[in-house]
């Protein structure tokens, strides 16, 4: 079963469910940026009192269409359901009330499958461009400095496997910082980074070291990541009017120099 066959089968099966006021395609399929690897993101709109009933009927409906080999439910303001079929189609459903749905969606981000109340026509045509989040940027800057400053601990204890993980944390923070410049209101999931970042940034990320548990390689990788992160972080902090944690950065430099050797890590 392919994506469209599953979409058609679910739409047909859910039509007539009185508790379901609307069903939309979201994610890449809703935006029209999907490919053969995309998961299927559905958004259901129902009154809050009907969310549990919708969740139960959704699982029963899926199981009549195709075998389900993975199921997960996340309860919060709404309900999020994750399913994987025997063909490894990934199928997610977010159940929301109409107020929450309308506050976070636009017509260019969803495709209506069932729309009993004309919700699609009430949506904005587009959402405003996303802007950098000052709180997220402040967190990334301080957390990058903190993790970088832990390098002497890992080296001193010869925890080289753990330090490989530390390199991964720093790389992820660099990627998160780069994504602060992505203006798409709904940038989507993590498995299409190359569609979000410019080619030169993807080339930079690919060229960074990916070390194994080797002391020299790990130290070099920390330095390489710092040299890419700090100039970009300073520029963005200045743009957002954030105070730079100069004392924290200076103390971290002194700590690295004292315990690893002067100028072992340079940025």
pLDDT per residue as tens digits for the range 55-79: 999 999 999 999 999 999 999 888 9
Structure tokens at 239: 């743009």
Same domain for 139 and 117: no
Same domain for 186 and 245: yes
The C-alpha angle with vertex 92 and arms to 205 and 139, in degrees rounded to 5, equals: 40
195 in a structural domain = yes
266 in a structural domain = no
Last residue of a domain, one of 122, 143, 171: 122
Same domain for 144 and 68: no
Same domain for 78 and 172: no
Structural domain count, the chain:
2
Same domain for 202 and 111: no
CATH number at residue 104: 3.30.460.10
Judge residue 209's burial from the number of C-beta atoms within 10 Å of its C-beta, 0-12 exposed, 13-18 middle, 19 or more buried. middle
pTM: 0.85
Domain that holds residue 218: 134-260
206 in a structural domain = yes
Q: Return per-residue pLDDT of the chain as tens, 267 residues.
A: 889 999 999 999 999 898 999 999 999 999 988 888 899 999 999 999 999 999 999 999 999 999 999 999 999 888 999 999 999 999 999 999 988 898 888 999 999 999 999 999 999 999 898 899 999 999 999 999 999 999 999 999 999 999 999 999 999 999 999 999 998 887 777 668 888 999 999 999 999 999 999 999 999 999 999 999 999 999 999 999 999 999 999 999 999 999 999 999 999
Between the CA of residue 37 and those of 24, 91, 191, what are the distances in Å? Answer: 19, 12, 9
Last residue of a domain, one of 91, 122, 153: 122
Structure tokens at 43: 């958004």
Task: Provide the pairing of β-strand 40-45 with 22-26.
Answer: antiparallel
| 118 Cα distance to chain centroid | 30
Judge residue 83's burial from the number of C-beta atoms within 10 Å of its C-beta, 0-12 exposed, 13-18 middle, 19 or more buried. buried
153 in a structural domain = yes
């Amino acid at each position: 079963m392919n994506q469209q066959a599953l979409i058609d089968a679910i739409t047909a099966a859910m039509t007539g469910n009185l508790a379901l006021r609307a069903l939309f395609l979201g994610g890449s399929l809703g935006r029209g940026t999907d490919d053969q690897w995309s998961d299927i993101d559905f958004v259901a709109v129902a009154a809050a009192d009907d969310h549990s009933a919708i969740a139960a009927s959704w699982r029963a409906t899926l199981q009549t269409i195709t075998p389900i080999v993975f199921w997960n439910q996340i309860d919060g303001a709404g309900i999020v359901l994750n399913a994987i079929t025997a063909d490894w189609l990934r199928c997610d459903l977010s159940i929301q009330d109409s107020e929450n749905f309308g506050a976070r969606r636009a017509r260019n981000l969803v495709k209506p499958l069932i729309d009993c109340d004309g919700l699609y026509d009430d949506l904005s045509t587009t959402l405003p461009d996303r802007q950098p989040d000052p709180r997220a940027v402040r967190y990334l800057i301080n957390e990058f400095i903190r993790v970088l400053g832990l390098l002497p601990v890992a080296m001193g204890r010869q925890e080289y496997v753990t330090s490989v993980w530390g390199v991964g944390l720093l790389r992820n923070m660099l990627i998160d910082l780069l994504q602060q410049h992505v203006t798409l209101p709904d940038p989507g999931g993590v498995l299409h980074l190359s569609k979000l970042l410019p080619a030169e940034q993807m080339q930079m990320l690919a060229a960074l070291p990916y070390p194994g548990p080797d002391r020299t390689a790990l130290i070099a990788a920390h330095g390489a990541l710092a040299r890419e992160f700090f100039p970009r972080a300073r520029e963005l902090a200045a743009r957002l009017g954030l105070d730079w944690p100069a004392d924290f950065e200076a103390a971290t430099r002194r700590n690295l120099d004292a315990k690893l050797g002067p100028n072992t890590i340079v940025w």
